């Protein structure tokens, strides 16, 4: 339904939600989407459902790449008309509510969804398509949740055969989670991080891998043939046509995110030839991949919040001086022993600087990996320590926010 046709309570809730978000923004408290959505849902607990009705919606979920894939997908669906999206990464129902309230009557929406909330958001938004990216450990204290999350998704998706799935063929957890869905379009971009999927979620046997394939040694679960495949610097579509993908975002992982966006767009009837040119419009995503010039240094920010994304960041980073920053505040997870799950040896030969609340944990880890480094107290000291040219910055969540703040909240 359009917002004009909503029940009175929902209309009021929508207006209050917008106003609260605007006031919060004006007060300099971020983009206001969490508080706006929270107030709207207090007034009308069914507000998300009302706001979603009548829109064709795609949801994007998984441990890594949600925000970027959501941005790329929203760009691709823009071919059809105006698209509502929660592009600031407010990925819980409060953020979705706020995004839809703020957008007004758009025919389309692309929403990034926190893994834990996917079942609830499916019920409330009735999506047409869901993209499932991967499931890996996010914070060590939550590691055993990977299998539980896959089970939760599998149970939920079995109840929604009407939803088309775009799924990652290289992640056994995703393949199993989508195993009961009748309509799945598989994509493949390779899987660098495999330590959370050595054990079959169906039968508990070992999963074997060879030449990009994987299969369970105890049951029929195996890698499905993907329809969308990252190859060189482009993507093969289901017809076998190859499309060169020009992105402003670095790394093979973002080509995989682009392939996902193309597959979602195809589920909405958009041909790759229409969607591909839109992808190059996406530059930085909430400051990630942003490049800032300061004192002759070109600083690039890479967010790495869990072991899988650290490996991806090493792959994306140029062979240039690199600053690593680690905090262990609440949003990061308090336990830094995950550092020992990551192989830091790709950094050998680069000038490495470390900083952050938990720089000394990083120091121990780098020492074990024989990577020389220097500790710096501030970001300014880091800039002064490297020659003019590229400085790569790889940081976990709150460390990333600290550095963004130092760089005047770059976008």
Of 141 and 208, nearer to Zn ion (C-beta) is 208
| 3 state SS of 371 | coil
Of 219 and 283, nearer to Zn ion (C-beta) is 219
Q: How far is the CB of 216 from Zn ion (least distance, A)?
A: 3
Report how far residue 69's alpha carbon sits from residue 260's, in angstroms, rounded to the nearest whole number: 7
Determine whether the annotation assigns residue 393 to a binding site: no
Q: How far is the CB of 180 from Zn ion (least distance, A)?
A: 15
Q: How far is the CB of 155 from Zn ion (least distance, A)?
A: 18
335 annotated active-site? yes
| Residue 123, token pair as written in the block | 């019920």
Determine whether the annotation assigns residue 216 to a binding site: yes
- Asked if 90 and 34 count as a contact pair (C-beta separation under 8 A), the reply is yes
Residue 338: CB partners within 8 Å, gap ≥ 6? 137, 139, 140, 306, 307
How many CB atoms are closer than 10 A to CB 390?
A: 17
Specify the residue for token string 């609340």: 357
Of 214 and 268, nearer to Zn ion (C-beta) is 214
37-67 exposure pattern, b = at least 16 Cβ within 10 A, e = fewer = bbbbbeebeebbebbbbebbbbbbbbbbbbb
Of 219 and 368, nearer to Zn ion (C-beta) is 219
Q: How far is the CB of 192 from Zn ion (least distance, A)?
A: 23
Q: What is the size of the binding site for Zn ion (CB under 5 A)?
A: 8
Residues 157-216 that bind Zn ion (CB under 5 A): 200, 202-203, 205, 216
Catalytic-role residue among 105, 335, 341, 357: 335
Of 19 and 194, nearer to Zn ion (C-beta) is 194
- Asked if 72 and 282 count as a contact pair (C-beta separation under 8 A), the reply is yes
List beta partners, residue 380: none
Q: Which of 221, 270, 279, 383 binds Zn ion (CB under 5 A)?
A: 221
- Is 218 among the residues that bind Zn ion (CB under 5 A)? yes
Q: What is the CA radius of gyration of the chain?
A: 21
From the list 62-70, 98-106, 219-227, 389-397, the region that binds Zn ion by CB under 5 A is 219-227
Q: How far is the CB of 220 from Zn ion (least distance, A)?
A: 8
Q: Which of 22, 23, 27, 219 binds Zn ion (CB under 5 A)?
A: 219
364-377 exposure pattern, b = at least 16 Cβ within 10 A, e = fewer = ebbeebebebeebe
Determine whether the annotation assigns residue 200 to a binding site: yes
Determine whether the annotation assigns residue 219 to a binding site: yes
Q: Which residues are annotated as a binding site for Zn(2+)?
A: 200, 203, 216, 219
Active site members: 335
The residues binding Zn ion (CB under 5 A) are 200, 202-203, 205, 216, 218-219, 221
């Amino acid at each position: 339904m359009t917002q004009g046709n909503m029940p009175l309570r929902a209309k009021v809730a929508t207006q209050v939600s917008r106003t609260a978000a605007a006031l919060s923004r004006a007060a300099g408290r971020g983009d206001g989407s969490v508080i706006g959505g929270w107030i709207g849902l207090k007034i009308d607990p069914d507000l998300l459902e009302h706001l979603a009705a009548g829109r064709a919606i795609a949801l994007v979920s998984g441990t890594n790449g949600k925000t970027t894939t959501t941005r790329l997908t929203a760009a691709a669906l823009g071919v059809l008309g105006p698209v509502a999206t929660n592009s600031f990464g407010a990925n819980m129902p409060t953020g979705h509510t706020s995004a839809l309230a703020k957008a007004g009557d758009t025919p389309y929406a692309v929403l990034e969804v926190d893994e834990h909330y996917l079942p609830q958001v499916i019920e409330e938004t009735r999506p047409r398509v869901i993209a499932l990216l991967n499931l890996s450990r996010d914070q060590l204290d939550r590691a055993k949740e990977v299998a539980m999350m896959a089970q939760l998704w599998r149970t939920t998706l079995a109840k929604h055969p009407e939803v088309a799935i775009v799924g990652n063929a290289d992640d056994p957890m995703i393949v199993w989670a989508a195993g009961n869905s009748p309509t799945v379009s598989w994509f493949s971009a390779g899987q660098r991080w495999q330590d959370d999927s050595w054990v079959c979620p169906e039968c508990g046997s070992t999963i074997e891998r060879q030449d990009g394939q994987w299969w369970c040694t105890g049951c029929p679960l195996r890698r499905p043939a993907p329809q969308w495949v990252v190859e060189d610097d482009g993507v093969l579509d289901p017809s076998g046509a190859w499309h060169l993908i020009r992105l402003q975002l670095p790394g093979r992982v973002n080509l995989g995110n682009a392939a996902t966006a193309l597959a979602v767009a195809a589920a909405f009837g958009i041909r790759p030839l229409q969607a591909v040119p839109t992808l190059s419009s996406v530059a930085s995503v909430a400051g990630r991949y942003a490049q800032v010039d300061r004192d002759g240094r070109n600083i690039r920010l890479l967010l790495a919040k869990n072991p899988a994304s650290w490996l991806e960041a090493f792959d994306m980073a140029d062979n240039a001086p690199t600053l690593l920053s680690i905090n262990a505040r609440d949003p990061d997870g308090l336990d830094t022993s995950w550092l020992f799950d990551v192989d830091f040896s790709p950094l050998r030969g680069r000038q490495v600087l470390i900083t952050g609340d938990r720089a000394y944990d990083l120091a121990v880890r780098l020492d074990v990996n024989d990577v020389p480094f220097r500790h710096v107290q501030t970001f300014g000291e880091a800039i002064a320590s490297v020659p003019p040219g590229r400085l790569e910055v790889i940081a976990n969540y709150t460390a990333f926010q600290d550095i963004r703040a130092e760089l005047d909240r770059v976008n």
